[in-house]
Structure 1
């Protein structure tokens, strides 16, 4: 193989690894976010676990994270949970950082 082919293959592998990391981190973030939201909604045990998984599944509805945000916003409104849009988005960002750390650490 030429040096160019090696560099191209290396780039493709790096891109694929980065995409996998982002996918796994997003799923992890959504699970953590679901746990946080379930607690705010007063859920515990199996109900909280199922809610958390529903947040993970919601992310497959549309590209991006707006579908996840919209579900939590709607659930908080229905449950009369006092959280601003800014607070929800801040927690989403914080949990994404935590999820990336966990995925990289193999947790």
Structure 2
């Protein structure tokens, strides 16, 4: 194996790690989004955790695969006046938080 092959393998390994980190961050963001939304809808305790998991599940099992749209529909059904733009902003903030949490956990 030459230096070029070693470098190519290193790039592939980094790419796979980056993809895994992004996947984990998106899942964590959706869970945090679900907890945030549950609080806004007045859902607490175990019901809030269950709701947060349902937000995560929409990425895998839902027809639209969009946690933000699920939360927007649930807000509308619950009478919570928070628009989709605010939800999208919250998703951006929570994605940054999720990345920070994962990096912190990896550094321990």
**Do 1:35 and 1:48's aligned partners in 2 also have CA atoms closer than 8 Å?**
yes
Which residue of 1 is the match for residue 6 of structure 2?
6
Distance 1:11 1:87 in 2: 37
Q: TM-score, normalised by structure 2?
A: 0.92
Which residue of 1 is the match for residue 93 of structure 2?
94
**1:43-69: per-residue Cα shift (whole Å, max 9, x none)?**
01111010001111111147xx96111
Q: SS of the residue aligned with 1:60? A: helix
Higher relative contact order, structure no. (Cα contacts within 8 Å, ≥ 6 residues apart):
1
Matched, 1:79 2:78: yes
**Do 2:69 and 2:84's aligned partners in 1 also have CA atoms closer than 8 Å?**
no
Which residue of 1 is the match for residue 41 of structure 2?
41
Q: SS of the residue aligned with 2:52? A: helix
Runs of 4+ in 1 over 3 A off after TM superposition: none
Q: SS of the residue aligned with 1:55? A: helix
How many residues align structurally? 105
CA RMSD between the two structures:
1.5
Distance 1:61 1:51 in 2: 14
Distance 2:61 2:103 in 1: 26
Structure 1 stretches lacking a partner, 5+ long: none
Distance 1:66 1:84 in 2: 19
**Do 1:29 and 1:99's aligned partners in 2 also have CA atoms closer than 8 Å?**
yes
